Amino acid sequence: MLKRLSLIALCATLFVLTSLSAFAASALSVGNPAPEFTLNSQEGTPVNLKDYRGKWVVLYFYPKDFTSGCTIEAHNFQRDLALYERKNVVILGISVDSADSHKQFCAKEGLNFKLLADTDYKVSTAYDSLSSHGDVKYASRHTFIINPEGKLVKSFTEVNPNKHSDEVLSALAELQK
């Protein structure tokens, strides 16, 4: 009888865990509302995703300020910033670095869009974009396009920083037809 109850408890636990992971995966599915958040920008001011309703949002996660791939990716978004603005698109970058690190990175690299500090990893986790190497946690290089109604309409989980801005602009051209 005890073995049977243990087996039932184990099956129930596995069912709950499977259901939760399926819910988390479906919450990030294209067509679903983008997870809401408020994070501090490089200026130290809070930025809420809801602030951008009515605009398209390119929400890109990147591992670390001042690293080569992240610098290339940021430079390419900055290079194309006028093209994004013409399409009513806001660029928001997120990493687990501090707002002060973002401020220094923007100043050094001449970046004029918002970088947001996810120092408690909550937003990176909500967007299934948190990775770790040993004890070090960092944001995975993922990008999400959010439409003016706040829904996820495109995700990129395989990102080449050298050509990513071009890919995002191409995707936006298709989505905005």
Name, in order, each residue with C-beta under 8 angstroms of 48's C-beta and a sequence gap of 6 or more: 36, 37, 38
Strand, helix or coil at 58? strand
Asked whether 123 and 103 are in contact (CB, 8 A), the reply is no
Give Dmax over CA atoms of the chain in angstroms: 69
Q: What residues contact 43, with CB distance under 8 A and at least 6 apart?
A: 99, 103
11 is annotated as an active-site residue: no
- Residue among 49, 57, 58, 70 flagged as catalytic: 70
Cβ 84 vs Cβ 29: under 8 Å: no
Rounded to whole angstroms, how far apart are CA atoms 143 and 59?
Answer: 6
Q: Catalytic site residues?
A: 70
